[in-house]
């Protein structure tokens, strides 16, 4: 509040926030029409905002710039900075016939950038929530999530799927969000009480719009064209022999997506029945598929997963997020999350020299 007042010489009239997310399982399936299973994390993006009567937007970040940045509605243009997410939000709102005036806004987030935990989706959704309230926009939570995806796809240039904004907009603490990304149907599934979650950031950032993520999406689309299907969602594990006829690496890319979709369904059933050993095995299998078939892991992430296994207290662990850096999620025995996380982080730092960050459980939790 004080920082907003100092910057803009007035008080905000709207406050909104949205959480980051960790994807339990179902990686790179959302833009293939498949299934995903994220859950929200404690870290959040918070927005303070006050409407203006003109077309000027003044935006500040508590994480980036000391002063505010400026642009006018209708004059949005990519600048390759955090402001692109703010510009993207106003651009897609106007493109979808939602009326806005200018506004002053200050953003602050403790969702680590490049961590694979959807810091950008948290920003998109938090700002959309603030604008929805400030300008009385007629948007439900699912529509808001779809606009958040448009920000990434149409303005920022990252061809991400719908999972991240849906998790930020519809997720609830203590619940996994089982999403069918083709139909946009979703269901809240209570997390198993017999296990804890650990999320560790490797300290190596990724950037979706840098190219590797978009390359994987293009490879999936090429595989679909060769197989004569609309999306890889149209295939099941019974079709694996067909996938083997694709040229390399399209065969491996498609195999990951098809088997990962199957693993999501198995994971939901394992959660419902309390079969934590099975759930953990699915985590490990998912990581191996991302590493070997989808080629989105890196040695440091592989090490974090292996260190999780070596603790003897983890049911399973895997790369979470788009890959090429970022974070792991591990499922540990109940009551051991802090101990396991600290053991993994200490060993990882000793072996790599990288500074990891334990994000879940939070310090003091």
Tokens representing 165?
């904004």
Q: At what angle do helices 250-273 and 212-227 cross, to 10 degrees?
A: 100
283: tokens are 């985590």
b/e code 204-239 from CB counts within 10 Å (16+ = b): bebebbeeebeebbebbbebbeebebebbbbbeeeb
CA end-to-end distance (rounded Å), the chain: 26
* 149 and 89 Cβ atoms separated by less than 8 Å: no
Rounded distance between C-alpha atoms, residue 119 and residue 147, angstroms:
16
Upstream peptide bond of 346 is cis (omega within 30 degrees of 0): no
Q: In 10 A of CB 95, how many CB atoms?
A: 12
DSSP β-ladder status, 195-201 and 175-180: unpaired
Find out whether 227 and 254 touch, Cβ atoms under 8 Å.
Answer: yes
Name the CA radius of gyration of the chain, rounded: 21
Pairing of β 69-72 and β 35-51: unpaired
CA distance 84 to 92: 12
Neighbours of 317 (CB within 10 A): 28
Cβ(127)–Cβ(148) below 8 Å: no
Q: What are phi and psi of 343, to 5 degrees?
A: -65, -45
SS3 278: helix
Q: Is the dihedral of CA 53, 80, 113, 261 positive or negative?
A: positive
Sole residue written with tokens 């930020």? 168
| 164 a catalytic residue | yes
Catalytic residue, chosen from 164, 196, 251, 293, is: 164
Q: For residue 338, what are the contacts with CB-CB under 8 A and spacing of at least 6?
A: 361
Q: Catalytic positions, please?
A: 164
């Amino acid at each position: 509040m004080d920082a907003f007042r100092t910057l803009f010489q007035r008080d905000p009239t709207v406050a909104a926030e949205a959480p980051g997310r960790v994807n339990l399982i179902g990686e790179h399936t959302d833009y293939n029409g498949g299934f995903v299973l994220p859950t929200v994390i404690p870290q959040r993006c918070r927005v303070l905002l006050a409407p203006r009567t003109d077309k000027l937007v003044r935006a500040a970040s508590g994480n980036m710039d000391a002063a505010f940045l400026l642009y006018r509605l209708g004059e949005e243009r990519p600048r390759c900075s955090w402001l692109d997410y703010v510009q993207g939000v106003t651009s897609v709102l106007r493109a979808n016939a939602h009326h806005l005036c200018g506004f002053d806004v200050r953003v602050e987030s403790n969702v680590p950038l490049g961590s694979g935990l959807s810091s950008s989706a948290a920003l998109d959704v938090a700002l959309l929530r603030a604008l929805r309230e400030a300008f009385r926009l007629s948007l439900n939570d699912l529509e808001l999530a779809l606009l958040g995806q448009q920000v990434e796809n149409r303005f920022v240039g990252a061809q991400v799927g719908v999972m991240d904004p849906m998790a930020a907009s519809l997720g609830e603490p203590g619940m996994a969000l089982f999403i069918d990304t083709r139909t946009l149907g979703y269901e809240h599934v209570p997390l198993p009480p017999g296990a804890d979650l650990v999320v560790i950031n490797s300290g190596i950032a990724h950037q979706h719009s840098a190219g590797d993520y978009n390359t994987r999406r293009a490879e999936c689309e090429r595989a679909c064209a060769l197989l004569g299907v609309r999306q890889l969602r149209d295939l099941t594990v019974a079709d694996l022999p067909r996938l083997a006829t694709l040229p390399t690496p399209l065969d491996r890319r498609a195999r990951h997506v098809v088997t990962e979709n199957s693993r999501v369904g198995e994971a939901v059933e394992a959660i419902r029945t309390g079969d934590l050993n099975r759930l953990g095995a699915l985590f490990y299998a998912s990581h191996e598929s991302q590493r070997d078939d989808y080629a989105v892991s890196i040695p440091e992430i592989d090490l974090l997963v292996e260190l999780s296994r070596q603790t003897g207290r983890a049911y399973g662990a895997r790369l979470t997020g788009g890959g090429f850096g970022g974070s792991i999620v591990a499922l540990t025995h109940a009551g051991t999350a802090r101990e396991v996380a600290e053991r993994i982080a200490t060993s990882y730092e000793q072996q790599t020299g990288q500074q990891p960050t334990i994000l879940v459980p939070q310090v003091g939790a």
